[in-house]
Amino acid sequence: MIASVLVLGFAGAGVLGLLLSRWAAAARMLATGAAGFLAIVAAGSMVRAQRPETFGWVVPGFDLGAFAVPLDLGTSRPTAAVAFVVALVACGVQVYSTWYLRDDDRYPVFAATVSLFTAAMLLVVHSRDLVLTLIGWEVMGWCSYLLIGHWSRRASARRAAYKAFLVTRIADIGFVLGTVGLAAGAGSTALTRVIAAWGEPTVCDEYAACTGPDAVLRNVVVTLLVLGVLGKSAQIPFQDWLPDAMEGPTPASALIHAATMVAAGTVVLAGLFPMLAQAQVARWVLGVSTALTMLVAALLAMGQSDLKRLLAWSTVSQVAIMLSALASAGPADGPDAGLFHLWSHAIFKSLLFLAIGLLGVIAGGTTAVLLRGIGMRSRLGRWAFLIGLLSLAGVPFLVGGLSKEHVIAEVYAGAAEGGPGVLVLLALLLTVVVTAAYSTRAYLVIGELIDVDQPVEAVAALPAARRARRAEHLDPHGRGNANAVLLVLAVLSLVGGLALVLELFDLPGLSWTWTVITVLLIAVGAGLAFALGRAGDPGVRFVGRRAALWDSGFGADTAYRALVRPVERLARVVAFLDTEVIDGYVRGGAVAARLAGLAGERFHRRERVRLGPWLVVAGLIIVLAVGVLGWR
């Protein structure tokens, strides 16, 4: 029942927060209080979680004829762990926003939207019914639109929000179709029955008589579902919305990137894992897309001129790693390596975003130029950022390192059983190198020594208003909350691997071979960054003059536009056909009906007593004539 408490608690906080949006103080207390309380509840549930269980909740299920919609929720150890990390990040984001958005006039709406967003994610995490999953999925899409466009007075924020909404929406076509197909095939929306109906291996004998579900159909529906997941998780070819989403406030980015939106796909696919493992085409689609994405996004991260966008591309790359674990794991391995990476990524990525939010406020922006050496002004910010980067790079025994090694080990095991494992493993190892390189680059930028008293040149160029705001935030007063959040997340990034001690995830022991190999790869990556960084920002050295190409994500926007143009042209043709040709028939029909009415009216105008009988006689003659001519 704790699952319903979490979902309804956050949803209630969101709705109530909207009602209280006139009183910022009350909204602040409600949002942070509810998130804190529910995070503690989630922690309790995580520690107490034993075996998987399914239960109904406040909304009763119903049957549509033979079609069952039970609307059940459920928990297991991994979902309890994911739910905890979601609640924790949400709580951290809420507390952090009280400082970060202190003078924002729309703060109460922001806090309420964050609560709703979290409720939707928790619904997806706990859902044991496709309808509930779909509801959570859609509410998340809507909330992300609101959060990215929070500063909607800025044109760029509006554009980013539209882009995020449209791109994920288009991918959602696949998700909805896949969900409908799965439910239709199972005769129920219950996850257990869907898996029972679709998760059996299809075995054919030599006469091509097969047992189990139709393999082609399964491939089609699961691939559709995977397409939806690729969109929400910003994987190639839908990757470009996520870096643009940096237009939102930094706490919103932390939430979207760390614990909710982009991770939701991993949760959904993990819930349907037995079925995914049987659908070879879907596995290949997912595997190829994620293999490509993790490497390309890591390379893009290396060359970004804005460190917040660097973090965004690193999210794309890391989410690809989670999903690749699901794509390559064999049916016997289970999805827990991907979920564990979700857990660790949520912790270190929220830490990184909140740290760069702090550093960005001090510097007055998040471009690498502005941030250069900014770590010298905030010791906490620098240390938090460093710990987050180490975890991101996958240094052993930090939370990120543990989970990444498990993913690599699982992909290696899965590669032996066929599927896209070999390709993914190759991409994964390369990505480890590049990740280490860009992590090193980020720290080199932050940590470069600069005299504290001398303002950076770029700061002097800032508008006066922004400078004033910066000065206000530099005041250590009131930053305590944000500092506390950073501290907690930094500690968790160091010791989050204790989740393995608690046996929250069903994983084999650590592989020493892979640990040694990753250490070597990280050393190579870091060494490369150091080598490039001898004379300045290694990222700048890396991309040279093509910085614009890197910042535009290899021109994905142009590609999107090229794709849209023919569609637009087709739409114009269809509209022309509709208004000029088809409407012509319709209007002609209307004119004909009107003329017929006029003629009929003329005919009946002489409604004398005579007309009726004459008509009757005429009718009788016609009727009888038909009878005489037509009888057989």
User: Site map for other proteins, 318-337, x if CB under 8 A?
Assistant: --------------------
- Binding residues with other proteins: total (CB under 8 A): 30
Nearer to other proteins, 534 or 608 (CB): 608
Q: Please list, in sequence order, all residues whose beta carbon lies within 8 angstroms of the beta carbon of residue 70, skipping any fewer than 6 positions away.
A: 56, 61, 128, 129, 188, 189, 190
Decide: is 584 part of the binding site for other proteins (CB under 8 A): no
Decide: is 626 part of the binding site for other proteins (CB under 8 A): yes
State the minimum distance, in angstroms, from the CB of residue 339 to other proteins: 45
Decide: is 627 part of the binding site for other proteins (CB under 8 A): yes
State the minimum distance, in angstroms, from the CB of residue 552 to other proteins: 49
- Beta partners for 127? 73
User: Site map for other proteins, 154-193, x if CB under 8 A?
Assistant: ----------------------------------------
Beta carbons of 219 and 225 less than 8 angstroms apart: no
- Helix count and strand count (H, E) for the chain: 29, 6
- The span of 72-80, 283-291, 399-407, 607-615 binding other proteins (CB under 8 A) equals 607-615
Nearer to other proteins, 565 or 594 (CB): 594
Q: Which residues of 487-503 are buried (b: 16+ CB within 10 A; e: fewer)?
A: ebbbebbbebbebbeee
Could you say which of 170, 548, 549, 596 contacts other proteins (CB under 8 A)? 596
Residue 344: burial class (beta carbons within 10 Å; 0-12, 13-18, 19+): buried
Decide: is 590 part of the binding site for other proteins (CB under 8 A): yes
Across the chain, which distance is largest between two alpha carbons, in Å? 113
Nearer to other proteins, 559 or 625 (CB): 625
Residue 601: count of CB within 10 angstroms of its CB:
9
Beta carbons of 53 and 137 less than 8 angstroms apart: no
Distance CA 46, CA 48 (A): 6
Decide: is 588 part of the binding site for other proteins (CB under 8 A): no
SS3 60: coil
Token pair of 6 as six digits: 């979490």
| CA 166 remoteness from chain centre | 13
Q: Measured between alpha carbons, how far is residue 407 from residues 84, 328, 443 in Å?
A: 21, 10, 25
Q: Please list, in sequence order, all residues whose beta carbon lies within 8 angstroms of the beta carbon of residue 349, skipping any fewer than 6 positions away.
A: 254, 257, 258, 311, 314, 315, 318, 388, 392
State the minimum distance, in angstroms, from the CB of residue 578 to other proteins: 17
State the minimum distance, in angstroms, from the CB of residue 66 to other proteins: 17
Beta carbons of 303 and 539 less than 8 angstroms apart: yes
Distance CA 519, CA 396 (A): 7
- The span of 55-63, 282-290, 431-439, 587-595 binding other proteins (CB under 8 A) equals 587-595
Could you say which of 205, 453, 580, 607 contacts other proteins (CB under 8 A)? 607
State the minimum distance, in angstroms, from the CB of residue 585 to other proteins: 12
Beta carbons of 160 and 247 less than 8 angstroms apart: yes
Residue with tokens 């699961």: 222
User: Site map for other proteins, 279-318, x if CB under 8 A?
Assistant: ----------------------------------------
Nearer to other proteins, 471 or 599 (CB): 599
Nearer to other proteins, 23 or 603 (CB): 603
Q: Determine phi and psi for 615, rounding to 5 degrees.
A: -60, -40
Decide: is 611 part of the binding site for other proteins (CB under 8 A): yes
Decide: is 609 part of the binding site for other proteins (CB under 8 A): yes
Nearer to other proteins, 460 or 628 (CB): 628
State the minimum distance, in angstroms, from the CB of residue 59 to other proteins: 22
Indicate the DSSP class of residue 505: S
Decide: is 613 part of the binding site for other proteins (CB under 8 A): yes
State the minimum distance, in angstroms, from the CB of residue 9 to other proteins: 36
Could you say which of 22, 153, 477, 632 contacts other proteins (CB under 8 A)? 632
- The span of 136-144, 326-334, 416-424, 619-627 binding other proteins (CB under 8 A) equals 619-627
Decide: is 624 part of the binding site for other proteins (CB under 8 A): yes
Decide: is 598 part of the binding site for other proteins (CB under 8 A): yes
Q: Please list, in sequence order, all residues whose beta carbon lies within 8 angstroms of the beta carbon of residue 129, skipping any fewer than 6 positions away.
A: 61, 69, 70, 71, 72, 73, 189, 190, 191
- The span of 14-22, 84-92, 282-290, 590-598 binding other proteins (CB under 8 A) equals 590-598
SS3 285: helix
Nearer to other proteins, 491 or 618 (CB): 618
State the minimum distance, in angstroms, from the CB of residue 611 to other proteins: 5
Nearer to other proteins, 534 or 602 (CB): 602
Nearer to other proteins, 64 or 216 (CB): 64
Beta carbons of 239 and 557 less than 8 angstroms apart: no
Residue 615: count of CB within 10 angstroms of its CB:
12
Distance CA 337, CA 505 (A): 8
Could you say which of 29, 59, 502, 623 contacts other proteins (CB under 8 A)? 623
Q: Which residues of 437-476 are buried (b: 16+ CB within 10 A; e: fewer)?
A: bbbbbbbbbbbbeeeeeeebeebeebeeeeeeebeebeee
- The span of 53-61, 416-424, 447-455, 612-620 binding other proteins (CB under 8 A) equals 612-620
Nearer to other proteins, 562 or 593 (CB): 593
State the minimum distance, in angstroms, from the CB of residue 608 to other proteins: 8
- The span of 48-56, 326-334, 362-370, 613-621 binding other proteins (CB under 8 A) equals 613-621
Residues that bind other proteins (CB under 8 A): 589-590, 593-594, 596-598, 600-601, 604, 607, 609, 611-613, 615-620, 622-624, 626-628, 630-632
